[in-house]
Structure 1
Amino acid sequence: MIDPVSGFSYPDEWIRHARERGDITPVEEGRAVLTSSGAILRRGITTGATAAAAAKAALLSLRQPVSEVGIMLPCGIRVMVDATGENGEGYAVKDPGDYPDDRTAGLLFRAKATPSPEIVLHAGEGIGRFVRDTPRYLEGEPAISPPARECILNAITEAVREIGLSGAHITLTVVGGREAGADTLNPKVGVVGGISLLGTTGFVEPWDDHLESTMEERVRAADRVVITTGRIGLRISRLLFPEYEVVLAGSKIRQALSAAEGEVILCGLPGLVLKFLRPDILNSTGYQTVEEYVATPEGITMMKKVLEESVPEGVKVVIVSRDGEIIGDSA
């Protein structure tokens, strides 16, 4: 079974554990993720997709009241979202799924729709704006990412076609967005006055990135921690070890290990992990990257040797491929 959102291929053993627990339809549909223990964690809906739902509900309610709407997410999956609409006003509440500390969870998104010759989208109160020019945005522009904007405009386009309008003027606001935005990273990236409307896929992954905490703080506070080196390793580690705190350390593996006080697993793609354990691993091999090297029989032999001889005491090391397969394990 392939996750339709991330493309991750779930191992048969994980699927078997999950089926023993109950229905895995949400995983098959992309609404949830499956972990190695068989536990199913529900994905939430992004701020961009929530805004799209409120906008569509507002438009459809010009014809009749609505209680839910279907929207197409940027990842290509159509979902039904709870959203109410009446007399041109639509409302949707931000659903965090099983994401533990989503600051935008529960925020009320409000949309006001009026007929117009063309589609016009206005970002109102509670949606942040940039206070300086950036490579992608100009000063004063609303903090709406391109995928989120496309999702919102697609929802509006579907609605105007359904009720037979040529266009509509939509004003979006977020109740409590100003306060929530101040508690996120927005001020650091030059966005003030509210939250950002984001969403590359339209789904919120059920993981907490703890962006306000330093890497060492998170490692030090965890009783059971997985230290990983990149985004692929982060995703795979969370699936493999759902009961552990997973921390992205990048190239700062040594600092992360030094901060660890509990049970420690180092998990990731072969490149940074093996280079950390054996800095001279590529010497005299003729290969430019560790990834190329471990794709060969001699590289596999060397990887096993490194895992036998060079792993720090008290640390378990797990090497994974880009597809999530475990290709090396010091245990």
Structure 2
Amino acid sequence: MRREAVVDPVTGYVYPEEWAARCASPDGLDLAASGLGVLTASGAVLRRGFTTGTTAAAAATAAVLSLRGPVSAVAVTLPCGLVFTVPAEGRDGTGSARKDAGDYPSDVTAGLLFVATAERAPAGLIFEAGEGIGRFARDTPRFRAGAAAISETAMRSILEGIRDAMAAIGLPGVRVRLSIPEGAAIAGKTLNPRIGIEGGISVLGSTGLVEPWDDHLSESAFERIRGAERVVLTTGRIGLRYSRLLFPDHEAVLVGVNLGRALDEVGGEAVICALPGLVMKFIDPAILEGTGCGTVEELTATPAWPGIMARAFTRFRADRPGVRVVIVDRDGGVMGDSG
């Protein structure tokens, strides 16, 4: 009996039939079809984990629901639109969840405990970011100094979970405080101190899921690159979405920080289309030197940015004449095009 094509609901990628044929586990194929797994070229299925944003949403939701009674798991709507049941404990207004990194072996936040407390309020929703959540040391294009390092997508997931829990138990108002007890200690193992985020980790997640990059990219992504007639490489989920819109006749492949290896696999012409952060540091590792900026995003908001970007494009074209670089912003606007 022939099985229907397996489609990744997170990316929309239709897995090749031969990959599915190599998978000996029907449960593995079901996991890939659900979005919680990634089917690789060998037939192995690697498990996606949950982001810090999803974990925070689970803890906050459990805290609110526990005002009615004990909780052992909660449903979380992820930014990618999928809904999953996430393990979380809740009792007497305190909720907790641990970060599940899936099959991503290098995730320094794996197992990290998130704790939320909820108390009834007369009306409305009050959310507070507590200990272990990093804060911006200076203004950035999207955040003011002192603001909690919680991305917009992660915040939406947290607040949506709280509101759903309030509706479920008929609560007119609530105050929720989220903390990550070991967040400050773990932050030293992340890039946060170098990019001006102090006191803890960031709460992030553009899809709500953690990709098993270390293993996944060695097989499926690079096989797709080698087999594509025209390929556009990108570094994250936002870039993937706009790569597909801007280059519909190209195979769009998300490679994260592995741009160098991905370009080596192409061996010819390619397009890089992504947000500026990883790409600009790849084509010019010294791009921030002498600018006074801690991140590329911060640099994009300065008057010097257009000239710096143009010079980086010129140098990169000389090194890799067959590679076109298109930089987009978070709304899909083209900030620069080396082509």
TM-score, normalised on structure 1?
A: 0.68
- Aligned in 2, Cα 1:233/1:196: closer, same or farther, shift over 3 Å? closer
Deviations, residues 89-148 of structure 1 (Å, cap 9, x unaligned): 001000000011101111100000001211111000000000000000000000000000
Aligned to 1:142: 148
Matched, 1:71 2:76: yes
The RMSD of aligned alpha carbons is 3.4
Deviations, residues 9-46 of structure 1 (Å, cap 9, x unaligned): 2111111112x234211111101111100110000000
Rg (Cα) greater in structure: 1
Matched, 1:187 2:190: no
- Check the 8 A contact 1:34/1:239 in 2, yes or no: no
- Aligned in 2, Cα 1:11/1:165: closer, same or farther, shift over 3 Å? same
C-alpha distance in 2 between matches for 1:35 and 1:120? 43
C-alpha distance in 2 between matches for 1:177 and 1:95? 15
User: What displacement does 1:277 show?
Assistant: 10
Aligned to 2:15: 10
Aligned to 2:283: none
**Could you tell me the percent identity over the aligned residues?**
48
Which consecutive unaligned segments of at least 5 residues does structure 2 have? 1-5, 216-224, 241-250, 273-316, 326-339
Aligned to 1:247: 258
Corresponding residue SS for 1:172: strand
C-alpha distance in 2 between matches for 1:69 and 1:136? 30
- Check the 8 A contact 2:133/2:199 in 1, yes or no: yes
C-alpha distance in 1 between matches for 2:118 and 2:37? 32
Matched, 1:166 2:172: yes
- Aligned in 2, Cα 1:269/1:45: closer, same or farther, shift over 3 Å? farther
Aligned to 2:85: 80
Matched, 1:154 2:157: no
Aligned to 2:284: none
Count matched residues.
249
Aligned to 1:52: 57
C-alpha distance in 2 between matches for 1:183 and 1:277? 33
Equivalent residue runs for 1:274-289 within 5 Å? 279=321
- Aligned in 2, Cα 1:271/1:104: closer, same or farther, shift over 3 Å? same
Question: Of 183, 187, 204, which aligns to 2:210?
Answer: 204
- Aligned in 2, Cα 1:202/1:272: closer, same or farther, shift over 3 Å? closer
User: What displacement does 1:249 show?
Assistant: 1.7
User: What displacement does 1:239 show?
Assistant: 9.7
Which consecutive unaligned segments of at least 5 residues does structure 1 have? 210-225, 241-245, 254-264, 283-288, 291-331
C-alpha distance in 2 between matches for 1:269 and 1:68? 49
Deviations, residues 35-69 of structure 1 (Å, cap 9, x unaligned): 10011000000001100000011111111101001
Corresponding residue SS for 1:144: coil
User: What displacement does 1:230 show?
Assistant: 3.3
Question: Of 165, 175, 184, which aligns to 1:178?
Answer: 184
Residue identity matched to 1:231: T
Corresponding residue SS for 1:230: strand
Aligned to 2:115: 110
- Check the 8 A contact 1:74/1:201 in 2, yes or no: yes
Residue identity matched to 1:2: V
- Check the 8 A contact 1:52/1:153 in 2, yes or no: yes
Deviations, residues 135-182 of structure 1 (Å, cap 9, x unaligned): 000000000000000000000000000000112100000021001112
User: What displacement does 1:278 show?
Assistant: 9.1
- Check the 8 A contact 1:229/1:249 in 2, yes or no: no
